[in-house]
A and B are shown apart, each in its own frame.
Chain A
Amino acid sequence: MGKQILKLENITKEFPGVKALDGVTFELNEGEVHVLLGENGAGKSTLMKVLAGVHQQNGGRIIYKGEEVKFSNPKQAQDKHIAIIYQEFNLMPNLTVGQNIYLGREPRNKYGLIDKKQLYAKAQEMLDFLQVDIDVQEQVSRLGVARQQLVEVAKALSIDAEILIMDEPTASLSDPEIEQLFRTIKRLQEQKVSIIYISHRLQELKVVGNRITVIRDGKSIGTREADKCTMDELITMMVGREIGNTRIRSKNTAQDEDAVRVEHVTNRKLEDISIHVRKGEIVGIAGLVGSGRTELANAIYGIDAIKSGKVTLFDRQLRKPSPGLNIRNHMGFIPESRKEDGLALSMSIRKNTTCASLKELFPSGWINEKKETETSAGFCKDMKLNTENMEMLVQNLSGGNQQKVVLAKWMCTDSDFLIFDEPTRGIDVGAKEEIHSLMNDLAVKGAGIIMISSDLPEILNLSDRIYVMREGRIVKELPGEGTTQEEIIGYAAGKEEKNA
């Protein structure tokens, strides 16, 4: 193993209200692939953004090649040959491969104009070195994801990267493409390029990595040699989060009848999904980011089209499901991002609350404002919203109160089957408890509930059954009681080999 090239010491980073990094230590040797492993929101990406000069740390030191450095912008990190490839590529889709590789650093001729010949020749060199067969004159938008990623790698090479950070590089690649990527990584290693590899796919880590560092809740938990550790060990390091409060759901109120049945549903993002939710049951859906949880909810709700399979809601199969039709059949959906999908921010609380149930409230087609105000005030009071002025614009409310308006809106529809997508994200503890008890109450009254959440304690404390998703599939069904966080993460990250 080569000598140490980088050391991050006790890095802390605070954003208003959150401590994203809390004393992380990380080392990198020359020519090493060092995997950074952690759950959603553990702080992996933030740490890398500090290293790449996107964020500046509040405390701690970055020691690069023996001397302390401080990057106040990404350019400075680039000048020191540190390159980062984000999950969302940073390519200009309408430019060619060559133009992208040398974007902003185009070789000039004596008139100060771009020297195209030289640009393409140099770009070709990079691609030849990587042993990939991509036309330098091809427009980037015509390449597939895997090839676009290789263009990113070539771009990193062109700045003579000594440290290359790859954020979830295999997230959207197929198996042969992953193999090609791993070969490329090996080539880079031979050239003494050090790679920081961010991932939460356990399977591939031991194939590609030399060492693995686990971080959790902004703290570094430990570093292991890739060939000397077990997956169980890594999983334990990843979860270890306290299950603070005890189980919220005192008894399972599931009835025999199904509220919803999803059979063999397949579309662009989902593969042969079969699940069911009983009346009065809370079903948790766990999975890492990109596992297809929200996509499943969107398919059930009729936002995304289904290619094959069927969804049966209260024993009725809807021929052409749409949100409108589903709402009329008593389905509700509390979407993940309240600002983008849940609320019309520039409108009043009154108008937001009744927005999804106008037809039920006013069958004549004409709105009675007095009744509307009373109705919305009633539901907002149930949600313990701290204002009685229904004419207040939603954009002037705090995040927690906005979420209460979203909930009031869906309580107003009187739904018997509800999907909660990350219902408590970014919400204070008090409001969180209120939402949990609301969900429990709904189930006791006989509503079927799907809860999608990245918060494992929440899943474990509230669910009667749990489905774990990975790569657009349901990989495991677990009971709500007696399941551990380790089990869920194990399935979500792919500890077990896929069943045929």
Chain B
Amino acid sequence: MKKKIAIPDTLSRLLAVILIAVLLSITCPNFLTVNNILNIFNQASLNVFIAIGMMMTMLIGGIDLSVGSVLAISSVLSARFFFRDDLVSIILGILFAITIGIACGLVNGTMVSVFKLPAFLVTFGMSQICRGFAYLYMNGKVFNGFSDSFKVIGKGRLVGKVQMPILISLVCLVLMAMFLKKSILGRQIYVSGSNPSCARYSGININKITMLCYAFSGMFAALAGVVYVSRLDAAEATIGTAYANDAIAAAAIGGISFAGGKGNVYGTVIGAVLLTLIKNGMNQLGIATEYQKLVTGLVIIIAVLIDRKSAKIAR
């Protein structure tokens, strides 16, 4: 009773996922296999990275539409590091990608906080700029044939059959959950999101917090880029165009408020998994892909509707 109000929220979402999973395992025989379940999580992991970053910007009442393009630019620029079968080179490459992601995020954050521009427009502009640079840099080329050690990141399996991306996203999930719940900065993010004016009077540097959140978003986009390139063994300028949409969908289903200050990592991850689950299930049932978007859209709206209703009841 004394614990938290967020738990029933997250719990109900978890129940929804389990319910859908149970329904699917009854209707299609191939659903409840270890391989398929792992596959779902593996597919969801990319969106998990990006959605966690998206959530960070939404917690302070912002949004980051540039994640897909940041993913593209950071992965094409860092791709050269990944040809050599050399651990140092790969680590340098990952750091380089992440640096680019953070730099893009900091530019976004500066525009939103210092120059007080609307996040929607700034990140939309940034998305065009990054995409444009990626096109210019690649000039229609596709990089592939990366080193085997690099491919471990996207395709490797640890602990039996569990894919690396699942493990990496699990680590991110735990770290970010701890950061948001236990650290002073995490708390300050929530305060800034729920009442910026109160945050200011409480001595919180909102500009710093805003930049931090956008930097996180850029970093996670870059990280997703590295995993993506490793998994597909291909880096090109066109990757990740729909990723911002997927991440926003996951966050919305996960109960992250667009007004800021409300939501947590668990909800976001559940949102991402739920999205993948629906796609996977519909594929298994042989439902045409055209219907998938339709269902996804409905799920988003229903989730937000339920959120709004339950918030009213709580009041």
Q: Which residue numbers of A lie inside 8 Å of B, CB to CB?
A: 301, 303, 322-328, 333, 335, 340-347, 351, 355-356, 358-359, 362, 365-367, 369, 389, 391, 393, 395, 409
- CB atoms of B201 and A324 under 8 A apart: no
* Beta-carbon contact of A345 and B201 below 8 Å: no
Q: Which B residue sits closest to A364, measured CB to CB?
A: B184
Residues of A within 8 A of B4 (CB): 391
| Complexed CA–CA distance, A326 and B204 (Å) | 11
Stretch at the interface among B10-18, B47-55, B190-198: B190-198
In the complex formed, the residue of B with least CB distance to A390 is: B2
Q: How far is the CA of A393 from the CA of B194 in the complex (A)?
A: 12
Please tell me which one of the listed residues B181, B183, B185, B201 contacts residue A335 in the complex, with CB atoms under 8 A apart. Answer: B201
A362 near B184 with CB under 8 A, answer yes
Also in contact, A366 and B184, with CB within 8 A (given A323-B201, A324-B203): yes
Which of B185, B194, B315 is in CB contact (< 8 Å) with A347? Answer: B194
Measured in the bound complex, the distance between the Cα atoms of B202 and A324 in whole Å is 7
Give the interface size class of chain B.
20 to 34
Are A327 and B203 closer than 8 Å at their CB atoms? yes
Please indicate the chain B residues that have their CB under 8 angstroms from the CB of A340 in the complex. Answer: 195, 197-198
**B84 proximal to A (CB < 8 A):** no
Cβ-defined partner of B202 (8 Å) among A323, A325, A367, A393? A323
Q: Among the listed B2, B3, B185, B198, which residue makes an inter-chain contact with A355, where contact means beta carbons less than 8 Å apart?
A: B198
Q: Mark B159-183, 1 if CB is under 8 A from A, else 0.
A: 0000000000000000000000111
B80 within 8 A of A: no
Assuming the contacts A344-B191, A391-B2, asked whether A366 and B201 have C-beta atoms less than 8 A apart, the reply is no
Interface status of B188 (Cβ within 8 A of chain A): yes
Show the binding face of B for A, using Cβ within 8 Å.
2-5, 181-185, 187-188, 190-191, 194-195, 197-205, 261-262, 315
Tally the A-B contacts, defined by beta carbons under 8 Å: 84
Cβ-defined contact, B198 with A303, below 8 A: no
Q: Is the CB of A389 within 8 A of B203?
A: no
Q: A341-B197, A347-B190, A347-B194 are in contact. Are A365 and B202 (CB under 8 A)?
A: no
Looking at A346, A356, A389, the one whose CB has the most chain B CB atoms below 10 A away is A346
What CA separation (Å) do A453 and B205 show in the bound complex?
A: 28
The interface residues of chain B lying within 8 Å CB-to-CB of A366 are 182-184
Q: How many angstroms from the CA of A322 to the CA of B183 in the assembled complex? A: 22
Pick from B5, B181, B194, B205: contact of A345, CB below 8 A.
B194
Q: A323-B200, A355-B199, A358-B187 are in contact. List 18 more A-B contacts (CB 8 A).
A: A303-B201, A322-B203, A324-B205, A325-B203, A340-B198, A341-B197, A343-B198, A344-B190, A344-B198, A344-B199, A344-B261, A346-B262, A351-B191, A355-B191, A355-B198, A365-B185, A367-B183, A409-B202
Output the least CB separation between B78 and chain A (Å): 30
Can you give 7 contacting A-B residue pairs, CB < 8 Å? A323-B203, A327-B202, A346-B195, A355-B204, A358-B188, A359-B184, A409-B202
- Contacts A346-B261, A362-B184 given; does A326 touch B203 at CB 8 Å: yes
Which A residues are CB-close (under 8 A) to B188? Answer: 358
B191/A347 in contact, CB under 8 A: yes
**A355 to B182, alpha carbons, bound, how many Å?**
13
Given the known interface contacts A327-B203, A346-B261, A356-B203, the answer about A351 and B187 at a Cβ–Cβ threshold of 8 Å is yes
A343 touches B182 (CB 8 A): no
Kindly report which residue of chain B lies nearest to residue A334, judged by CB atoms. Answer: B201
Which B residues lie within 8 Å of A325 (CB)?
203
Nearest neighbor of A369 in chain B, beta-carbon distance = B182
Q: A303-B200, A358-B184 are in contact. Are A346 and B205 (CB under 8 A)?
A: no
A409 proximity list for chain B (CB < 8 A): 202
Question: Chain A nearest CB: distance from B220 CB in Å?
Answer: 21
Inter-chain contacts of B315 with A (CB < 8 A)? 395
